[in-house]
Structure 1
Amino acid sequence: MCTTCGCNGTQAVTVTEMEGQAGERGEARDHVHGHEHTHSHEHSHPHDHEHADGHTHDHEHDHDYPHPHAASEALALNPAETHARAHGTSITLEQDILAKNQLLAERNRGWLAGRSILALNLVSSPGAGKTTLLERTIRDLGETLPLTVIEGDQATLNDAQRIRATGARVVQINTGTGCHLDAEMVSRGLTQLDPALRSVVMIENVGNLVCPALFDLGEQAKVVILSVTEGEDKPVKYPHMFRASSLMLLNKIDLLPHLRFELARCIEYARRVNPAIEILQVSAQTGEGMDAWYDWLRSHSETCR
């Protein structure tokens, strides 16, 4: 459960690998993960885990390299939490959740760095155009820059199906009632996606400008997409997200002639909360300004190699 926003984490998270992907892996597979760490996938070297309630279960691992999901089960309960729960002591859940998430995020970051993979966390309000931006980016750059995608939504495979239609490999993570991805979900997604060395992983987060600002996924940078249809004051209304982001893509600029949107004020607001933020004006629909975005991607991909 996310105590920051109150979203209910009791509904299982599902990780779905889309069928018919490049480097065929067979049919689409759903991996349901609740908070009891019940796994539907098999591994080849058995080992036992003992939980706080004394229950033990076996896992078998078939991976021949360390992957970010390997550490997630060990973080289920730390000794301080076990002691606190046994004695009815109040603990600060938010701090514990964020601390666990940060540890897993660092493991993800190390896993990605070891493979020279650039991972970007794409964040925005719902409807800002993240998926359309990804579709155009993949179609324009897919031949020269290997791109794979982790899609985050509360429900449906709709966005993953759109990405799959471009020819890119994609894994869909459905968070149930959760309002954001976290590092553990992404570690599972990376294990399923198995991105190539020296490639780019785009993580499309759940549409939300609040909690995704707090949860590091192990990405190299957050990229916030702001549509001109949303209003120019979004950066000052949601300062934590814009402060956490390295790049702002101001999307749907083709609609500016039809809107009352003060472009200069929006840019000023963004730089007021984050003086270092880079800002690019784009239209994923018409292609205007997209070359600057592609140059940014290539440059940051090169720094990972």
Structure 2
Amino acid sequence: MTEWQNFVNVEEDLIAANVKLAKENEEIFNKRDLMVYEIMGNIGSGKTKIIGKLVEHLKDKYKIFVINGDCATDIDAERIKSHGAETIQINTGKECHLDAFTIRPVFNKIPKDVNLCFIEQVGNMICPADFPLGAKHRTVVFEITNGPYIVRKHPFIFAITNIVFINKVDIAEYVDMDKPARDKLKEDINKINKNVKVIFGSAKTGEGIEELISAMDL
């Protein structure tokens, strides 16, 4: 067996082990009556700001906890706290994503009265697709400024998501993303996943947040 084949086998084993643990995580969440939503997306897409908006809209209805993933710092966790949710930061160092293993140790830090949890993935459009966490819903966020080819260049993450939130539409006219271009983005997504809900919005203005909440059944 070649060195390359060994590498592939190890990666496949890691993915399979993660999927198994993600199912166990899901069972734990269900036993606790804890609704868990994973928010994925590239760096700078607006994941943290969107979660902040969700917290503002939902904190009177649910007891919310947020797990923030990042390579370093607790900047995003502190931002979310300012919106009124309890948080915990997981720093992954050189690892490019959270996985079912890395979130397991924080379960006992989630207060018993919490019934809604958002998990913000590390900014990455590639690796998280293969490493589910056990969440009820997986949402992908990217910004309109990514241009017309982002979906076709990153097909795998769109194949496994329930919802796509295309952020920063308030500046679409300044980056040559008119309605035909936006329609093409949606078409590209639906070619990969015909069941996904696609929302155009803006975390800055609040456009699309109510629609996102509805799509999440919250």
TM-score between both structures, scaled by the size of structure 2: 0.91
Could you tell me which amino acid in structure 2 is paired with residue 265 of structure 1?
A: K
Match of 2:3 in 1: none
Aligned with 2:34 (options 109, 117, 142): 117
Q: How does 1:1-305 map to 2 (within 5 A)?
A: 92-194=9-111, 196=113, 199-261=115-177, 262-297=181-216, 299=217, 301=218
Superposed CA deviations along residues 234-261 of structure 1, whole A, max 9, x for unmatched, are: 1111100000101001111111122211
User: In the comparison of the two structures, how many residue pairs are matched?
Assistant: 209
Bigger RCO (CA 8 Å, 6+ sep): 2
- Cα contact 2:56–2:83 (8 A) shared by 1: yes
Contact 1:210–1:238 (8 Å) recurs in 2: yes
Relative to structure 2, which stretch is displaced further, 148-157 or 249-258?
A: 249-258
* 1:56-113 Cα distance to aligned partner (Å, 9 max, x none): xxxxxxxxxxxxxxxxxxxxxxxxxxxxxxxxxx572112211221221111000001
Distance 2:62 2:214 in 1: 11
Q: Which runs of 5+ in 1 are unaligned?
A: 1-89
- SS across alignment from 1:229: helix
Secondary structure at the aligned position of 2:145 is classed as coil
SS of the equivalent of 2:119 reads: strand
**Counterpart-to-counterpart distance in 1, 2:83 and 2:158:** 29
- CA contact 1:108–1:217 (8 Å) conserved in 2: yes
Alignment check: 8 A CA contact 2:77 2:88 kept: yes
1:202 Cα deviation (Å)?
Answer: 0.5
Greater helix proportion: 2
Deviation at 1:190, TM superposition (A): 2.1
1:189 Cα shift? 2.2
Return the offset for 1:291.
Answer: 1.3
- Alpha-carbon distance in 1 for matches of 2:97, 2:166: 22
Q: Deviations over 1:188-236 (max 9, x none)?
A: 1222223535x21111000001100000111112100021011122111
Alignment check: 8 A CA contact 2:197 2:215 kept = no
Preserved contact between residue 120 and residue 201 of structure 1 (Cα < 8 Å): yes
Deviates more, 1:188-197 or 1:128-137: 188-197
| 1:184 CA displacement | 1.1
Is the Cα–Cα contact under 8 Å of residues 123 and 222 in structure 1 kept in the other structure? Answer: yes
Residues 148, 195 of structure 1: 8 Å contact kept: no
Q: 1:258-297 CA deviation, whole Å, 9 max, x = no partner?
A: 2211101111111111111111111111111221112223
In 2, Cα distance between equivalents of 1:194 and 1:103: 25
TM-score by length of 1: 0.66
Contact 1:154 1:206 in 2 (8 A): yes
* Residues 195, 132 of structure 1: alpha-carbon distance in 2 compared, 3 angstrom cutoff: farther
* Corresponding letter in the other structure for 2:192: V
The structure 1 segments of at least 4 consecutive aligned residues displaced by more than 4 Å after TM superposition are none
Report SS of the residue matched to 1:152. Answer: strand
Kindly report the root-mean-square deviation, in angstroms, between the aligned alpha carbons of the 2 structures.
1.4
CA distance in 2, matches of 1:124, 1:170: 19
